[in-house]
Amino acid sequence: MHINVCKCVFFLVTLAVVATAERRNVIFIVADDLRTSLGCYGDALVKSPNIDQLASKSQVFLNAYVQQAVCAPSRTSMLTGRRPDTTRLYDFNSYWRAHAGNYTTMPQYFKSQGYFSMSVGKVFHPGIASNHTDDYPYSWSIPAYHPASYRFEKKKMCKGEDGRLHANLLCAVNVTEQPGGTLPDLESTDEAVRLLKSRANHDTPFFLAVGFHKPHIPFRIPQEYLSLYPLEKMSLAPDPDVPELLPHVAYNPWMDVRKRDDVQRLNISFPYGPIPKDFQLRIRQHYYAAVSYMDAQVGRLLSALDDLSLSDSTVVVFTSDHGWSLGEHGEWAKYSNFDVTTRVPLIMFVPGLTAAPSWWGESTFPFIDVLNQLDYSFMNGKVIRNTVELVDVFVTVSRLAGLKAPQRCPDVSFQVELCTEGRNLAHTFLHREEGKNTELIAFSQYPRPADTPQVNSDLPDLKDIRVMGYSLRNWDYRYTLWLGFNPKTFQVNLSDVHAGELYMLADDPGEDTNVYSEYDHHGIMRKMTSLPQNVSLWTRMKLQFQYLAAGMKTSGAKV
């Protein structure tokens, strides 16, 4: 009893310290293409014990949404705290500092405040989108690290049934037979642990970003992880068909999946498929296995914090750049506005605030080997059910680490280097969530080259974008408008409505029944277009969302 009282008193004291200006280290972990297929998010099939353990000592945001469901735009948005219409990045082919504005990034802000900032793996999207340097030296104290084995990721590394090597989608491998006897995420974890060791005895706080490549395709993963998911225990998506009332412009034809050698051999018709059911099961099996493999690397990284006595001084953030469709709506990959691609994990551990310190003889993050230890169970530390966005991460993590939070951006902020378009969620760690808040909205978008599926519908270049789908999601429903877009001026024509979607989530949590046509939208559109010219599209859409909600309540619609 005496020990428990001491723990409680110290926990309250630590909470007060964290709420002030003490600076904490930060480990920022971002997965690639990870939807909320984790045990801590209610997926009973997946085996993710290390992330679940993290969640048990963290604050877990159950409804966190990305701003665009594709790598470069989402990562740039999250790391700058600005929406894609501000970064003006919708593809992979421009660098925001030259193309839109000289915006300060999250690691850059920490670096400017005296932190030693480091990048391992895929944090920024490599290439033009981060100036071929991962935004070094702006964002990082040392050049970013990329695993050498990643250069083999898209090559013919997968042994087929014919015994030959192919560039397959399904690519479970014997790691010892791979070049260097390793894989990218294994290398990244090794490097991240090495960097932690190098900073363990420094007085300077650190910001370490670690980007894992999995579960992104191809599923080049250690073959032993497949044993966790026997095919006979796998099931198809509950809604594997393309919804009848889905606008053609909303559909993604998953071209990157189609290009893989093993998928090409299936001779699937464009654009709607479908993929044969037996192959669907194998895709789902490999995706889940990739999640468990990535979870093991997270476990290795977090257990290193214990080994180096850093757990009590380090904020840990875990998230993903977007989700991935596993056959829902007849779709695969990302490239849409549906929940399966825009909803992601968001988990934040703050020592002394979300969990008591580990000084009393037990580790905070003991490694769990999922391949040999199946007996584990965790309860989430604290759950936030209300809607949040990844643009909220920059400002929130800054405050939780002990820095001054960046100010809210003005409605138009192209000339402002440091500000945020997100909300500071730090208060949610200190106050109990009071029921559902339907006023909180997540704002996502996706570009298309035409009203019907094209070979470049998934990832059109900026010059080819003709339609932009703006999607707003709150607790009760998702509302999407597909509007005419001018790629030369970045302007949206609010009176040029190509299609609409409305999903009532109480009765339709899978977003399978589009009821947009059941409501009169003309009055709402008139209100939106009548707003002053200096009002941003985000503000216009938010007001329209509120008008729609008020209209539905008046009509007695179930929300």
> One-letter amino acid identity for 105?
T
Q: How many residues are present in the chain?
A: 559
Among 115-119, 240-244, 451-455, name the one with the lowest average pLDDT.
240-244
Tell me which of 2, 8, 40, 71 is the catalytic residue.
71
State the Cα–Cα distance between residues 368 and 51, nearest whole angstrom: 10
Q: Which of 425, 309, 356 is nearest to 60 (CA)?
A: 425
Question: For the residues 304-312, what does the mean pLDDT come to?
Answer: 95
Nearest to 396 by CA among 48, 36, 59, 8: 59
- pLDDT band at 19, cuts 50/70/90? very low
Q: 250-281: per-residue pLDDT in tens?
A: 999 999 999 999 999 999 999 999 999 999 99
Angle between helical axes of 277-307 and 184-199 (0-180°, round to 10):
20
pLDDT at position 532 over 80: no
- Annotated active-site residue in 125, 213, 498, 521: 125
Q: Mean pLDDT throughout 471-499?
A: 94
- Locate 114 and state its tokens: 């005296």
Under the banding of pLDDT at 50, 70 and 90, the label for residue 244 is confident
Task: Give the separation between CA 24 and CA 112, rounded to whole angstroms.
Answer: 15
| Average confidence (pLDDT) over 384-391 | 97
What residue type is assigned to position 150 of the chain? Answer: Y
Q: What pLDDT was estimated at residue 373?
A: 81
For 2-555, the fitting CATH number among 3.30.420.40, 3.10.105.10, 3.40.1390.20, 3.40.720.10 is: 3.40.720.10
Nearest of 173, 108, 171 to residue 138 by alpha carbon: 108
Specify whether 71 is catalytic: yes
Higher pLDDT, 195 or 160: 195
Question: Which stretches within 498-536 are classed as H helix?
Answer: 522-529
40 labelled catalytic: no
Domain map (residue ranges) of the chain:
2-555
**Rounded mean pLDDT, 464-491:** 95
Q: Tokens in use for 70?
A: 């594709």
pLDDT of 5 strictly over 60: no
- Bridge-partner residues for 447, per DSSP? 468
Residue 534 has pLDDT above 70, yes or no: no
* pLDDT > 50? residue 7: no
- Distance (Å) of CA 319 to CA 209, 383, 392, 408: 11, 15, 12, 22
Lowest mean pLDDT among 7-16, 27-36, 382-391: 7-16
Helix (H/G/I), strand (E/B), else coil: 86: helix
Among 50-59, 69-78, 365-374, 398-407, which stretch is predicted with the lowest mean pLDDT? 365-374
- 3-class DSSP state for residue 367? coil
Which pLDDT belongs to residue 424?
97
For residue 3, pLDDT over 70 is answered with no
Higher pLDDT, 333 or 434: 333
Task: Write down the pLDDT at residue 88.
Answer: 97
Higher pLDDT, 523 or 193: 193
Residue 326, pLDDT > 50, answer yes
Res 527: pLDDT: 64
Per the structure block, which two tokens stand in for 245? 């009332």
Q: How far is CA 398 from CA 19, 40, 260, 269, in A?
A: 12, 25, 41, 48
**Confidence band (pLDDT; 50, 70, 90) for 523?**
low
Q: What per-residue confidence (pLDDT) applies to 4?
A: 41
